[in-house]
Structures are given as structure tokens and as C-alpha cells.
Amino acid sequence: MSYDVPRTDDEVDPTLAGTEGSPLWEVFIRADRGLNHVHVGSLHAPDAATALHHARDVYTRRKEGVSIWVVPSSAITATDPHDATDWFGSEHPYRHPTFYEIPEEVGHM
């Protein structure tokens, strides 16, 4: 397929040494007034001000946003996908409106 070049003898696979070089930043963009900032991706930059400039160039070439946040990737604490069932698993159907039966005669509620 397009960018899938067959393997040749001189090819080498990268190590899994992790990120190095300039710090990684997570980018959040507010698409318009009244909307949340939403995560759109990440980028490398030496400092926050440069990260903002890069974020504008990389992620908002077509007016995708009116506001940008950049956050050092290292500052993010995340849930562990292994524990997903413990964190998000329990069902509480009675928290949803469809759990309750309202007689048709009562009409919309």
C-alpha cells in the first residue's frame, strides 16, 4: 500500500528507548467560543512559548481553533487501561432516564 515499502536487507528497526530530545507537549484546541478545549495531538518543542507557535502551525492551518493550550506530556497522570473495569465498569441503569416507565397518557417528560 501507499507508504508501505517492502523490507530490504539494509533496513533496521528502531529501539524502544522512549522519548528523548526536546520535551513533548500535548496540544488542546478550543474549536470555537462555547466549546471545550479538546486534545488534538502532541509535538516537540524546547519551551512552552515555542510549543504554542508550533501548535498553531501544525494543528490550526484551517482555522480549527480560537484558543490553544499546551501541557507538558510528563505532567499528565492517567488511569491505567488494565484497571478500566474497576474504574468505569459498574452499571447504574437507574441513573438513566430510560430506566423509568412513564405512562403514555402523561406525555413527554
The sign of the dihedral angle between the CA atoms of 77, 96, 31, 40 is: positive
Considering CB under 8 A, how many residues would be counted as binding another protein? 38
Q: Which amino acid is at 107?
A: G
CB 27 to another protein: min, Å: 9
Cα distance between residue 20 and residue 101, in whole Å = 57
> Candidates 13-21, 30-38, 90-98, 100-108 — which segment interacts with another protein by CB under 8 A?
13-21
Binding site for another protein (CB under 8 A): 1-6, 8, 10-22, 24, 41-47, 50, 57-59, 61-62, 78, 80-82
